[in-house]
Amino acid sequence: MKRFALEVAKLSDDDLREMVDSRERPTLKTIARISGLAVATVSRALSDAPDIGRDTKDLVNRIADVIGYVPNRAGLRLRTGRTNVITLVIPAEGDVMNNASKLTNSIAEELRGTQFHLNVLPWFPDENPLRPIKYIVETHSSDAVIFNMTEPNDERVAYLLKHKFPFVTHGRTKWFDQHAYYDYDNIAFISMALKRLVARGRKNILAILPPLNQNYSQDMVLGLEQESKRLGISYRISEKVDSDQSSDDIQHWVMRRLEQSPELDAVICTSSKAAIAAIVAIEKNSRILGRDIDVYGKEVIPILKMFRENIIVELEDVGRAGRFLARAAMQQLQDPGMPLMQHLEIPTDEPE
């Protein structure tokens, strides 16, 4: 780093702010003037280029933060063909206990301090999930995309593979060997849930699963088929509702099942909302949770034990998933020659 830049590094934040006219919109040239570095060096430092020293990067990023520099995305794209934006495409949901917020926060935290910025683009249940993906690719509005709720034959994955556009999925597809992903082993989750319920003497299980078109729901079905046969117990999958439907719908459906099938002695729920709705139905049916019937719930936010102590809980760490997804997206942009990052989380901890 040049001697002048070394002197600038000693200045306070207030001193740096005084070097910028309040009417001036900070640009790369502004940072270059303050630091004494070339504009090209400033640009490469902000892009975390490997040939720029750490001290120089730290100085440039500090100046940029202090003076309020905001990259001109249009100009960056014209110069480099890149936007330094990663877009998270997630379903627009009203359920406050879903994983969208935690997933978004963990991805944003992992990108913090890098040259990459996060955009969040929602898609709605009444529209084609491919629409936001096509928009990103066709408008070049970001460099990579992250999305969830994958299906085995996911048309979004097929489209992105065809266009060779960088992406990472939260969940696998039939093309999982060709793309980056982070997934939770839901076959193992169901297997562990059934074994723990059998250990408590349960033999007639009701399962409230996610929509059956989604890959992780199909894994759960497979887990139910395999493990129930091995354990010699019976199960039934909710036919009228899934874990994405309203709490009222889930509650009313569980109430009817309990009235029609009093032999049911356990309910597996794949979301906090479904678990709470099931417990309300159980208690309205005058059955005692933990004595007459068990509820085994999977959650992403630790809340169920605060609702009822006797519920059995498995926590899926969506924060860990988000951090991995962010790193996997960045790797494809920074080191495209590296093997794709892929991880399958296998639940092993005892439920709390």
CATH number assigned to the domain comprising residue 122? 3.40.50.2300
Q: Report the range of poorest mean pLDDT among 69-73, 190-194, 218-222.
A: 69-73
Q: Which carries the bigger pLDDT value, residue 62 or residue 153?
A: 153
* pLDDT exceeds cutoff 80 at 291: yes
- Name the 3-class secondary structure at 92: coil
How large is the average pLDDT for residues 80-109?
Answer: 80
18 part of a folded domain: yes
From 12, 46, 70, the end of a domain falls on 70
Q: Is residue 352 part of a domain?
A: no
* Same domain for 275 and 202: yes
| In a shared domain, residues 196 and 285 | yes
Q: Binning pLDDT at 50, 70 and 90, where does residue 170 land?
A: very high
Q: Indicate the pLDDT class of residue 304, thresholds 50, 70 and 90.
A: very high
Same domain for 155 and 299, yes or no, is: no
Do residue 215 and residue 301 come from a single domain?
A: yes
Confidence check: pLDDT of 128 > 70 = yes
- Cβ atoms within 10 Å, residue 294: 22
* Mean pLDDT score of the chain: 88
- Asked whether residue 172 is domain-assigned, the answer is yes
**Given pLDDT bands bounded at 50, 70 and 90, which one contains residue 104?**
very high
Q: How confident is the model over 240-268, as a mean pLDDT? A: 93
Task: Please indicate, yes or no, whether residues 22 and 50 belong to a single structural domain of this protein.
Answer: yes
pLDDT, one tens digit per residue, over 22-61 is 777 888 888 888 888 888 888 888 777 788 888 888 888 8
Rg over CA atoms, the chain? 25
Number of domains in the chain: 3
Of 13-22, 113-122, 189-198, the poorest mean pLDDT is in 13-22
Residues 6+ apart with CB under 8 A from 194: 205, 223, 224, 227, 228, 231, 233, 235, 268
Tens digit of each residue's pLDDT (9 = 90 or more) over 200-221:
999 999 999 999 999 999 999 9
Q: What integer pLDDT is reported at residue 78 of this predicted model?
A: 47
Please identify, among 44, 70, 96, the residue that sits at the C-terminal boundary of a domain.
70
Tell me what the mean pLDDT of segment 161-171 comes to: 97
Question: Which of the two residues, 146 and 49, has the higher pLDDT score?
Answer: 146
Looking at the structure, tell me whether residues 162 and 201 fall in a common domain.
no
Same domain, 36 and 142: no
Whether residues 243 and 257 share a domain: the answer is yes
Q: Is 75 domain-assigned?
A: no
Tell whether the model's pLDDT for residue 21 goes beyond 90. Answer: no
Element (H, E) at 117: strand 117-123
- Kindly state whether residues 32 and 88 are assigned to the same domain: no
Q: Is residue 328 part of a domain?
A: yes
- The pLDDT score that the predictor gives to residue 351 is 46
Does the model's pTM come out above 0.85?
A: no
Q: Could you tell me if 176 and 162 lie in one domain?
A: yes
Among residues 13, 35, 70, which one ends one of the domains? 70
The closest of 183, 193, 267, 269 to 227, measured between CA atoms, is: 193
Percent of the chain past pLDDT 70, that is, above it, reads 91
Q: State yes or no: pLDDT of 71 exceeds 80.
A: no
Which residue segment(s) compose the domain that 339 sits in?
Answer: 81-183+319-345
Residue-level pLDDT at 11? 76
Average pLDDT of 270-290?
Answer: 95
Residues 159 and 92 occupy one common structural domain: yes
**Judgement on whether residues 55 and 126 belong to the same structural domain of the protein:** no
Reported confidence tier of residue 94, pLDDT bands at 50, 70, 90: low
Domain of 58: which CATH number?
1.10.260
